[in-house]
Structure 1
Amino acid sequence: MSALPVIVGFGGFNAAGRASGHHAYRRMVLESLPDAERQETLAGLAVMMGLVTYTEGAYRDSDDQACSLVDIEARFGQQVLDGTLIRRIEAGFFDVDAVPWQKSAVLAGDAEPLRFEMDEREVPEPLPADWKVVELDNRRVQVTVAGPLAVKLDSYRDLAVKSAGQLPAGFDPGALYNSRFHPRALQLAVIGASDAVQSVGIPWAEIASSIRPDQVSVYASNVMSQMDEAGFGGLLQSRLKGSRVSTKQCPLGLNSMPADFVNAYIIGSVGHTGAIAGACASFLYNLSAAVEDIVNGRCRVAIVGNAEAPITSEIIDGYATMGALAQEDKLKKIDGGDTTDLRRSSRPFGENCGFTIAEASTYVVLMDDALALELGADIHGAVNDVFINADGFKKSISAPGPGNYITMAKAVASARAIVGDEGIRERSMVQAHGSSTPQNRVSESEIFDRVARVFGIENWPVSAVKAFVGHSLSPASGEQLITSLGVFKHGWIPGIKTIDRVADDVLGERLQIPLADLDRRDNPLDVVFLNSKGFGGNNATASVLAPRVVDRMMRKRHGESAVNSYVERRESVRARAAAYDAGALQGRFDTIYQFGEGLIDEADLTLSDKSINVPGFEQEISLELPNRFADMT
């Protein structure tokens, strides 16, 4: 009997804000929310952005005057809206109008050789053959160069790409814990994973005591590694800048660190771990591994996620040179004017010219259904399956291929086996990869249209969260998942609000691509399909089951009495999760970061031929393992 991987916690941070409590989702459908929920969402973002604080039981402005939720919306609402989602790249990253550049030049004198002074410590080693050096006072030297001199001159250039999906303005992820020397992506990993773990509403120590130490899996990674100054970026630039490599830049730059930091500093796990990279489908690759672990009984709890911080001029330069990013001049041409709205630079399934890069972290906590039942964990949905297929031989590494047809068709067929034909046709939707490139809008819509025809789907809702938060690369399909949990909870499918109409070349006969939020409260969904397409033929599609479907499945497996008892236990868990959410809305994130705490002395391990007892863990690891190949031995 296969265990069902249920989602019991989720968290992270992106351009829409904090993921736990559905707050990032709520920012996407803000116009459709009731007044109280809209105002609470705006207030939480205002606290994140440093516009207001929460002290002495009230929100307060910079003059320490108390503010109601109505006041916050009236005074700071527009500033919150302007400082979230996709927008012009802010100066905290770099100046998009004056990006540092080095221009090569060759200096040559007229009749006389070049002559100049410099600090003796700056003289190159070995001394060039055509240089003559004479010592002066104060450790200065005079240099005479017989021939031409090649130099690099500091210069600045305008960056064609000017927008990105950035964390809310004024929010500093490194300020939530002792993040000294950590690259930005690892800061995002720590605060995102901590947010997910705390959103569960059950202390991690209680979860850990309920299972064996080796029954935990952590799968997380990123695509671009850590390319800022504190990671590989600084490592590669140091010699060219005349500085030294630090002891941390190389190890912290590795793309396995978003998993390693979770194990070492958040949950203290000695269980299974992995960092799987599949370009833009990386989250689903990691999710697939975790799902298989739970389904097959290799683990009972899994934490899955990705953290990416690619808003650097070098990374943007790389993707822009490929023609993959939306550039300001191309957007102006599409808009037919001298200006463009950079907040609308990501336009899935509309007239578009490239994707918009973004930063984000996304983590989810999975349990097997029996453990969730035992602990009273709140179930937000379940992952039925994840399908991954390559494209075969390719002419271009970025070109589409047959792999995504296979993943989509298998995902729909797998979900149909659970919710039936009617569930697929009437109560399912697609979270599209929706990268906002001309090629994607055609190829992905054709896949959806052909799959819809095969399964008899006539009006398939299709949403694309990249319209709001941009393309965060490895966490992108995690953002689709968490947004889908919001749809299950609140009933609104986010419309693609950055386009005026669907492009003419989109195959949308059987698709419903809403431009405004789509209300499904009276006809709730049974299943959402997450679709992801990555460079190199990395295709993945997952099916996620709604909580109401999971409830029916749980009652059939465990019985009415057991589930009713579970529902009672769940109340206290929901209360603890709500308490964390309320504190986070007020700026108390209480980020978990246990550096140097609870260290395990290997000498204290107790080993026998039947078990291993690890200090600090309530249960032991069994060594009474079965012969998996009994029929062959």
Structure 2
Amino acid sequence: MTGPRVVVTGVGPVTPIGIGRHDFWHAQLKGVSGIRTITRFDATGLPVRIVGEVDLPPGLAPGRREELTTDRSTHLALAATRLALDDAGLDLTALDRDRVGVVIGTGAGGASSWERNARLLQTDGPGRIGARSVVMSMANAPAANVAIAHGITGPSTSVATACASGAEALIVASQMIVSGEADVVLAGGAEAPITELIVAGFARVGALSTRNAEPGRAGRPFDADRDGFVLGEGAAVLVLESQDHARSRGAEVLAALEGYGRTSDAHHVAGPHPEGAGAARAIRRALRSAGWAPSDVSYVNAHGTGTRYNDDAEAKALHAALGDAAAHVPVSATKSMTGHALGAAGAVEAVASVLALWYGTVPPTLNLDSPDPAIGLDVVGAEPRPAELRAVLSDSFAFGGHNVVLAFGA
């Protein structure tokens, strides 16, 4: 990318396997599964009864008023932001907050608030729905509430490109910095889709794993016995800064966002292009943007949902874009542990990619008992793999054919 170099100085993951940089990273190394039986509602009548749920600790959980006036997606975004700011050692009160931005991606927005108020409308009438039903449910609520909570008066926006939203938020944030619009941007994704309607909807199209009796073994990207993804919730916010700004305050730099690629399949609203054509173009664009050759890539954090079609298409895309190097680059899938947090997934996986660079280790992929021979990739299985990592790709592909690939450098 041209212009100021964009660096990552703090991360705030809020996931089913760990909350905060250290807990999230060590849970990955241990191969912890965050998948369990649904507790948010009675799922007895559903064909799928397993998800990845987040338990916010008391210090990060919303207060009573916040709980009643904001959606759970906002609660997760606010928690992730606090963690990211602490991790970056960033005191916003010491900055010109006109020069600070916020970009939070989401796929489903305030889904639980919409669903709850729709039920109240049907059962009790319009006089019983919440007065804040609209502002709790709108997709920009997490970004707006982060800005309000921290007095951020620079650009604040939201991104909604389904499962690519969290990754695309980082691109929008980097563009704010490169253009000179901001020095610091809090960017990532937040999603709280554990609702009866969303679980039932994904189950209805056969996208979800039905391993209800063994939740920890349900997420199995690239395994020959995969049967669908596991829905999850969560958030992740990264602190992005211009390199000069980070240096001026003596910040620890975890990684650099060296480039990115974005394309559209223009193929199908739900299914990926069967040959991964759009995804391959996004990977190539990310490489060009970063100034890398395929042989430079030292790790790929895959989109890796665990559905038959998505894993196949992603593997084909990697082979098409990386050529001979594809068979030798370590690949792993965070969703095997966290589940698929839709609009937050790309941000969570960006954190995983940054930490892999920082700690020099490729995290594992759970449940890779029988690697699918058709994939043809070096998927890292149950044990983490120490490695000298310099150039990492993070893939995010979404319903609607949105393809986003981030390139992080050491």
Aligned equivalent of 1:252:
136
Aligned equivalent of 1:234:
116
The TM-score normalised by the length of structure 2 is: 0.92
Superposition misfits of 4+ residues, deviation over 6 angstroms? 169-172
Whether 1:430 aligns to 2:300 is: yes
1:467–1:397 Cα change, 3 Å: closer
Note the alpha carbon deviations across 1:449-482, whole angstroms, 9 max, x for none: 222216x455011110000000000110111111
Q: What displacement does 1:25 show?
A: 1.7
User: Pick from 83, 87, 105: which aligns with 2:36?
Assistant: 87
1:283 and 1:175 map into 2 onto residues whose CA distance is 22
1:179 and 1:3 map into 2 onto residues whose CA distance is 37
1:369–1:250 Cα change, 3 Å: same
* Paired amino acid for 2:50: S
Q: What displacement does 1:519 show?
A: 2.4
Aligned equivalent of 2:262:
388
1:472 and 1:459 map into 2 onto residues whose CA distance is 28
Q: Is the 8 A contact 2:363 2:385 kept in 1?
A: no
Q: What displacement does 1:168 show?
A: 4.2
2:369 and 2:54 map into 1 onto residues whose CA distance is 26
Note the alpha carbon deviations across 1:182-231, whole angstroms, 9 max, x for none: 2211111111111111211132212x14xxx4322211131111122xx2
Aligned equivalent of 2:216:
343
Whether 1:409 aligns to 2:284 is: yes
SS at the partner of 1:29? helix
Higher RCO (CA-CA < 8 Å; seq separation 6+): 2
Query: How do 1:393-472 residues align onto structure 2 when only pairs under 5 Å count?
Result: 394-395=267-268, 397-400=270-273, 402-415=277-290, 417=291, 421=293, 424-425=294-295, 428-453=298-323, 456-472=325-341
SS at the partner of 2:343? coil
SS at the partner of 2:315? helix
Aligned equivalent of 1:517:
383
Aligned equivalent of 1:481:
350
* Paired amino acid for 2:178: V
Query: How do 1:260-339 residues align onto structure 2 when only pairs under 5 Å count?
Result: 260-265=144-149, 267-328=150-211
1:279–1:170 Cα change, 3 Å: same
Query: How do 1:205-224 residues align onto structure 2 when only pairs under 5 Å count?
Result: 205-206=93-94, 208-209=95-96, 213-224=97-108
Aligned equivalent of 1:378:
252
SS at the partner of 1:304? strand
Note the alpha carbon deviations across 1:244-299, whole angstroms, 9 max, x for none: 1111111111010110011101x201111111111100012211111111122221
1:366–1:177 Cα change, 3 Å: farther
Q: Is the 8 A contact 1:16 1:168 kept in 2?
A: no
1:341–1:499 Cα change, 3 Å: farther
Q: Is the 8 A contact 1:17 1:168 kept in 2?
A: no
Q: Is the 8 A contact 1:234 1:249 kept in 2?
A: no
Aligned equivalent of 1:505:
374
* Paired amino acid for 2:238: V
Q: What displacement does 1:358 show?
A: 0.4
Aligned equivalent of 1:545:
409
Note the alpha carbon deviations across 1:73-110, whole angstroms, 9 max, x for none: xxxxxxxx6xx6112223xx02322xxxxxxxxxxxxx
2:209 and 2:60 map into 1 onto residues whose CA distance is 27
Unaligned runs of at least 5 residues, structure 1: 32-80, 98-157, 330-339, 547-633
1:285 and 1:425 map into 2 onto residues whose CA distance is 25
1:503–1:4 Cα change, 3 Å: same
Q: Is the 8 A contact 1:88 1:343 kept in 2?
A: no
Q: What displacement does 1:175 show?
A: 4.7
* Paired amino acid for 2:286: A
SS at the partner of 1:159? coil
1:383–1:426 Cα change, 3 Å: closer
1:172 and 1:403 map into 2 onto residues whose CA distance is 42
1:504–1:537 Cα change, 3 Å: same
Q: What displacement does 1:387 show?
A: 1.4
1:5–1:395 Cα change, 3 Å: closer
Aligned equivalent of 2:82:
194
* Paired amino acid for 1:450: A
2:232 and 2:349 map into 1 onto residues whose CA distance is 14
SS at the partner of 2:66? coil
1:426–1:223 Cα change, 3 Å: closer
Aligned equivalent of 2:235:
361
Q: Is the 8 A contact 2:101 2:156 kept in 1?
A: yes
Q: Is the 8 A contact 1:7 1:381 kept in 2?
A: yes
2:166 and 2:269 map into 1 onto residues whose CA distance is 23
Q: Is the 8 A contact 1:303 1:363 kept in 2?
A: yes
SS at the partner of 1:357? coil
2:59 and 2:163 map into 1 onto residues whose CA distance is 25
Note the alpha carbon deviations across 1:109-145, whole angstroms, 9 max, x for none: xxxxxxxxxxxxxxxxxxxxxxxxxxxxxxxxxxxxx
SS at the partner of 1:382? strand
Kindly report the root-mean-square deviation, in angstroms, between the aligned alpha carbons of the 2 structures: 2.1
Aligned equivalent of 1:27:
27
**How many aligned residue pairs are there?**
403
Query: How do 1:545-584 residues align onto structure 2 when only pairs under 5 Å count?
Result: 545-546=409-410
In percent, how many aligned pairs have the same letter? 25
1:459 and 1:296 map into 2 onto residues whose CA distance is 37
* Paired amino acid for 1:495: P
Q: Is the 8 A contact 2:262 2:285 kept in 1?
A: no
* Paired amino acid for 1:195: L
Q: Is the 8 A contact 2:13 2:351 kept in 1?
A: no
SS at the partner of 2:93? helix
Unaligned runs of at least 5 residues, structure 2: none
Query: How do 1:92-241 residues align onto structure 2 when only pairs under 5 Å count?
Result: 93-97=40-44, 158-168=45-55, 174-175=61-62, 178-181=65-68, 182-206=70-94, 208-209=95-96, 213-228=97-112, 231-241=113-123
Q: Is the 8 A contact 2:269 2:401 kept in 1?
A: no
1:328–1:452 Cα change, 3 Å: same
Whether 1:7 aligns to 2:8 is: yes
* Paired amino acid for 2:289: S
Note the alpha carbon deviations across 1:379-427, whole angstroms, 9 max, x for none: 01011122111113x2554232522111011212333x2xx55xx5265
Q: What displacement does 1:178 show?
A: 4.9
2:319 and 2:277 map into 1 onto residues whose CA distance is 14
Q: Is the 8 A contact 1:425 1:458 kept in 2?
A: no
1:529 and 1:185 map into 2 onto residues whose CA distance is 27
